[in-house]
Amino acid sequence: MRDGRTNRIVLAILVLLSITLVIIDLRGSSSGPTAAIRSAGAAVLAPLERVSGAIFGPLLSLGDSLGSLGEKDQQIADLTAENARLRADLDLVANEKARVAELDSLLGLVGNNGYVTVPAQVIAVGPAQGFAWTVTIDAGTRDGVEPQMSVISGAGLVGRTISVTPTTATVLLIVDATSSVGARLAGTSQIGIVSGSGRQDALQMQLLDPLAVVDVGDIVVSFGSEADRPYAPGIPIGTVLEMRGTEGQLTRSALIQPYVDVSRLDIVGVVLRVDERAPREPLPMPTPTPTTDDSVLSPQTDDSVIPEESAAPDETAVP
């Protein structure tokens, strides 16, 4: 009898405490006591996540083969797991190669736009049932990362940092339902706002001009924020998949296919600043010919070094 009563008192206290936390957090999560609890929790967990991320990061390349664990039967799962264990060594090598290739393409993008970035690896992801598209990367204030900085990968815009600890940072991905990015269409320079849909394969773009002529396949790049925070200008976001609403309607929106596959993020770069002389021209079409203009930036091909080569003869003319 007595036991039961203590139990209920403990339960009541904890439930009240939780509800209090929810209410305080809803009133303002960026300041006040819940911010202190959050940073205390992050301070304890971030170092542990870094260690765990360093251990499991390489093994996560096996994720695809384990992905069907939930729907195939037990035997297949066991065999896959065993197979995965046996292949772990082999995959570690393949994984290293893939990471080198990712770093290369990241460098290609960075070199073209003059972004000063710090590379980082994704070490933790929010549980799917929270519906939040956020990840943790292993670079923090120690590496010069601050809140509200752009995060890019070799393919394009990934998101922005929202909170940092000394050794880690949390990134809000562009596909998250609360994310919105000022963007424009390369070529026509129509501007609009790209917001996340909460699904990994689609973004929505709200066009400011209801009469805008938009074609399927047009490239969307970031417009750039004041002082390049949170979004640096000219980062490729995706391509137009489909137009919604008829021309002349008050608001027109486009469905955007993002360049970055957020479910396969590994190495990303945090844009610390943009060099002042960075070219801000819009992107060309996705399949550039080697003879096009001097502002080529192609997120999907490896030809991005071509402008420098075509510029080389001019440099030799300089005494």
Which residue in the set 86, 89, 130, 314 belongs to the binding site for another protein (CB under 8 A)? Answer: 130
Q: Are 173 and 160 spatial neighbours (Cβ–Cβ below 8 Å)?
A: no
Comparison of 264 and 273: residue with beta carbon closer to another protein: 264
The answer to whether 103 touches 119, Cβ cutoff 8 Å, is yes
Stretch of residues binding another protein (CB under 8 A), selected from 94-102, 162-170, 271-279, 280-288? 162-170
Q: Which stretch binds another protein (CB under 8 A): 51-59, 226-234, 237-245, 301-309?
A: 51-59
| Region 188-247 residues binding another protein, contact defined as CB under 8 A | 198-199
Among 105, 150, 153, 168, binds another protein (CB under 8 A): 168
From candidates 28, 31, 42, 214, binder to another protein by CB under 8 A = 42
- The CA-to-CA distance between both ends of the chain, in Å, stands at 96
CB of 25 to another protein, least distance (A): 4
Question: What Cα–Cα distance (Å) separates residue 25 from each residue in 18, 30, 33?
Answer: 10, 8, 8
150 within 8 A of 232, measured Cβ to Cβ: yes
Q: Hey, is 206 helix, strand or coil?
A: strand
| Residues with Cβ within 8 Å of residue 28, at least 6 apart in sequence | none
Given 6, 31, 75, 246, the residue binding another protein (CB under 8 A): 6
Q: What gap in Å lies between CA 261 and CA 193, rounded to an integer?
A: 20
Smallest Cα–Cα separation from 42: which of 150, 153, 169? 169
Q: Quick count: other Cβ atoms within 10 Å of Cβ 146? A: 14
Which residue's CB is nearer to another protein, number 56 or number 101?
Answer: 56
Q: Is 121 in the site for another protein (CB under 8 A)?
A: no
CA torsion, ordered 268, 271, 275, 281, to nearest 10 deg: 70
Report, in Å, the least distance between residue 169 CB and another protein.
8
Site for another protein in 288-317 (CB under 8 A): none
Look at phi and psi of residue 248 and say left if phi exceeds 0, alpha if psi is from -120 to 50, else beta.
Answer: left
For residue 252, give both structure tokens.
């027109």
Question: Which stretch, 117-125, 181-189, 223-231, 310-318, contacts another protein (CB under 8 A)?
Answer: 117-125
Amino acid letter for position 250: L
Residue 250 in contact with another protein, rule: CB under 8 A: no
Does position 171 interact with another protein (CB under 8 A)? The reply is yes
> Tokens for 111?
């070199």
132, 233 Cβ separation under 8 angstroms? no
Nearer CB in complex with another protein: 70/313: 70
Of the candidate residues 1, 86, 90, 128, the single one contacting another protein (CB under 8 A): 128
Residues of the shown chain interacting with another protein in the complex, contacts defined by CB under 8 A: 3, 6-7, 10-11, 14-15, 17-22, 24-26, 29, 34, 37-38, 40-42, 44-46, 48-49, 52-53, 56, 60, 63-64, 66-71, 122-132, 134-136, 162-163, 165, 168, 170-172, 176-178, 198-199, 263
